[in-house]
Amino acid sequence: MAKPGPALPRHIGIIMDGNGRWARRRGLRRSAGHKAGIQAIRRVMDAADKAGVHCLTLYAFSTENWSRPRQEVATLMRLFEQTLQAEVDELHRNGVRIKVIGRREQLSTRLQRLVEDAEQRTADNSVGMLNVAINYGGRAEIVDGVRQLASAGADLSQLEEDQLAGALYTAGLPDPDLIIRTAGEMRTSNFLIWQAAYAELYVTETYWPDFGADDLRAALADYAGRDRRFGGVLEPR
């Protein structure tokens, strides 16, 4: 039977791409693109909240991004630290729970401490949920989930989907209904590959630093017009 999705996604995943191209187009350093990307995050969080979407997952740094020039990796790590420090208070006041997903043990001790502090302080919030994927890879997440179950003594020969879903970084959250990718590439790049199995994809040419409230509204309008079948048949609306 057709299972039409609700008109509004409960959870949106965002692949924030195009910071570098945005900067190059302006004759700026790539770091300027990443800084402008943070402003876009603020705009989009605000617009999502106003639209009634309260769970976002942002792809900030993949397990593959370590291969970028050392200087750029350092800039990004510094930006994560600064942004966490600068934004936690306001997010907390607004009732947003923060969670960093990914292999955090490879992050600097300083960043790990900031992440733990932000997570602990906001752990009881329930108005909104912000997941930030740092040193994240979807395949690594699945491997980590299986390892966790194995070390807890689970019988992996009887493994069920729900069990594995409960061992992923996103345990307890609804699966993303919508994945937005900016800057035109038609790929999901190892992002939430388990959770996004039935997500709708929305790709825009807009570079992430230019993405704003209107762009989010356009993505939501597009999503609202999709027929979600979850593998079933399409029934007339």
Which residues of the shown chain bind ligand FPP in the complex (CB under 6 A)?
16-21, 34, 37-38, 41, 58, 60, 65, 76, 79-80, 83, 132, 183, 208
DSSP state of 199: P
Cα diameter, the chain: 56
Across the chain, the runs of DSSP E, i.e. the strands, are 12-15, 55-62, 96-101, 128-136, 178-181, 200-203
Measured from the CB atom, is 19 or 206 closer to ligand FPP? 19
Least Å distance, CB 139 to ligand FPP, is 18
Measured from the CB atom, is 29 or 228 closer to ligand FPP? 29
Question: Which distant-in-sequence residues (6+ apart) come within 8 Å of 191 by Cβ?
Answer: 13, 15, 59, 62, 133, 136, 138, 179
Question: Which of the residues 17, 131, 135, 177 is marked catalytic?
Answer: 17
Q: How many CA atoms lie within 13 A of 71 on its CB side?
A: 3
Q: Decide: 134 and 77 in contact? Cβ < 8 Å.
A: no
Least Å distance, CB 184 to ligand FPP, is 9
Least Å distance, CB 16 to ligand FPP, is 5
Could you confirm whether 17 is annotated as catalytic? yes
Could you confirm whether 214 is annotated as catalytic? no
Question: Which of the residues 46, 65, 190, 222 is marked catalytic?
Answer: 65
Instruction: List residues with catalytic annotation.
Output: 17, 65
